[in-house]
Amino acid sequence: MMRGDWIATWTASPMNVWAADMVVPGFYNQTIREIARISVGGRRLRIRLSNEFGSAPIVIDAAYVALAGEDGAIQPLTSRPLTFGGEVTASIAPGAPLFSDPVELATLPLSRLALSFYVSGHFPVETHHYEAQQTTFISIPGNFAASELLPLQQTTTSRYLASAIYVDAKEGSRAIACFGDSITDGYGSQIDGDRRWPDVLGERLRAGPTTQDVAVLNLGIGGNRLLSNRRGAKALERFDRDVLSLPRISHLVIMEGVNDIGWPNTALAGADQVMTAKQIISAIRQLAARAETAGIRVILGTLTPFEGTRSESPVGDFYTPEKEKVRAAVNAWIREAEGVHGLVDFDAAVRDPARPTRLLPAYDCGDHIHPSDAGYRAMAQAIDLALFE
């Protein structure tokens, strides 16, 4: 295969571990199985693992990929061992990713893969993807990477190793990067349902005669911000890794800034992290400029409403009228922004017409900031597919 024929078909942005998100502190002599629904298929694939926030190497003793069955099972006849430079074992260096060798496994669009990793030693969790909305299966002690079913110790809804899947897709295939926070990541959507707005966008593109070979990549991180670190590196910092490093990205949808507005003056962030509309707009402009310099067409998404969202403590409110003014100013700029390829008015798609500072109740997952499955579908339906043709 010629160089350049690979395309990312699925992604999960690596993020640092914040103590409040610690579900599993580490693994020892266990098998971890992660499930991922890809967007476009191919004849071969390769996997990217991540230890990008780690302080020590992670030794992988065995790794397998297979088509996923039900409830964490695999389809045994499709199981393939992964190798790394021809070896079945590998070490993921701290601060770095690790790519597998290509493996022969034909996949169809929108199919689900099971990625199984056995670590015989101690594996401290320092890099993960916290709110994956997807069940990860964790075994009792032992190597069960090739097993049809794992003897379970527990499950979580976080990811721990896989950060991208690549396929040798058809000539002319390309990808759309969806870059944002938990609303792009799909928090509040059905676990294992693949009902995030990028998932629904991928289904819509697959059904179109001219967009069947367009991958949709979810690069959302829950709690992520444009200008401040805490949950994942800030958007301005992670952009090269999460977007520009991926091959054949033709379009980028940016929807980020709600946490920059809402977090300050709460238990999550202090008054020193208050951001003005001008600062948020400047950050979005920088992301757009970096994408356009790489030949990527930029589509901006308006920020959705969040009145009624409660703070995690009485320190301060996530929503205030002053914060709403900032959101309104950012959205006004996005709706009139020059020099970008297009606009998606996510705000108009999910707000309550009777009270535009709130989500429509039918589109609210219950916390007044994250959409429900129906809300995420409305967001995806608001995207004009002609933007990608």
The CATH number of residue 377's host domain is 3.40.50.1110
pLDDT confidence bin for 172, thresholds 50/70/90? confident
Domain boundary residue, one of 147, 165, 183: 165
* Enclosing H/E stretch for 11: strand 7-11
CATH number at residue 43: 2.60.120
Mean pLDDT within 91-119:
97
pLDDT digits (tens, 9 = 90+) for 314-328: 556 899 999 999 999
Q: Is the pLDDT of residue 333 over 50?
A: yes
**Same domain, yes or no, for 13 and 71?**
yes
Q: Is the pLDDT of residue 32 over 90?
A: yes
Domain boundary residue, one of 165, 191, 209: 165
pLDDT digits (tens, 9 = 90+) for 1-16: 334 589 999 999 999 9
How much helix, strand and coil, in percent to the nearest 5, is found in the chain? 25, 35, 45
**Same domain, yes or no, for 96 and 219?**
no
What is the pLDDT, as a whole number, of residue 1? 34
Place of tokens 């402009």: 285
For 71-80, 89-98, 307-316, which range has the lowest pLDDT when averaged over its residues?
A: 307-316
Range of the domain at 268: 172-388
What is the pLDDT, as a whole number, of residue 231? 92
Look up the pTM and report it.
Answer: 0.96
Mean pLDDT, the chain, rounded, equals 95
**Same domain, yes or no, for 228 and 154?**
no
For residue 290, with 0-12 CB atoms within 10 Å meaning exposed, 13-18 middle and 19 or more buried, which class applies? middle
Q: Is the pLDDT of residue 59 over 50?
A: yes
User: Is 114 a member of any domain?
Assistant: yes
Q: Cα–Cα distance between 202 and 289 in angstroms, integer?
A: 25
pLDDT digits (tens, 9 = 90+) for 180-194: 999 999 999 999 999
**Same domain, yes or no, for 226 and 338?**
yes
Q: Cα–Cα distance between 353 and 369 in angstroms, integer?
A: 16
Q: Cα–Cα distance between 264 and 270 in angstroms, integer?
A: 5
Domain boundary residue, one of 112, 131, 165: 165
Token output for 197: 């707005």
User: Is 1 a member of any domain?
Assistant: no
User: Is 2 a member of any domain?
Assistant: no
**Same domain, yes or no, for 73 and 142?**
yes
Q: Is the pLDDT of residue 387 over 90?
A: yes
Q: Cα–Cα distance between 138 and 135 in angstroms, integer?
A: 10
Return the number of other C-beta atoms located less than 10 Å from residue 289's C-beta.
12
Which DSSP string corresponds to 38-69?
-SS-EEEEEEEEE-TT-SS-EEE-EEEEEEB-
**Same domain, yes or no, for 180 and 159?**
no
Q: Cα–Cα distance between 371 and 261 in angstroms, integer?
A: 18
**Same domain, yes or no, for 136 and 184?**
no
Q: Cα–Cα distance between 322 and 203 in angstroms, integer?
A: 38
Looking at residue 170, its amino acid is: K
Mean pLDDT within 182-209:
97
Token output for 213: 């070979």
Place of tokens 């389809």: 75
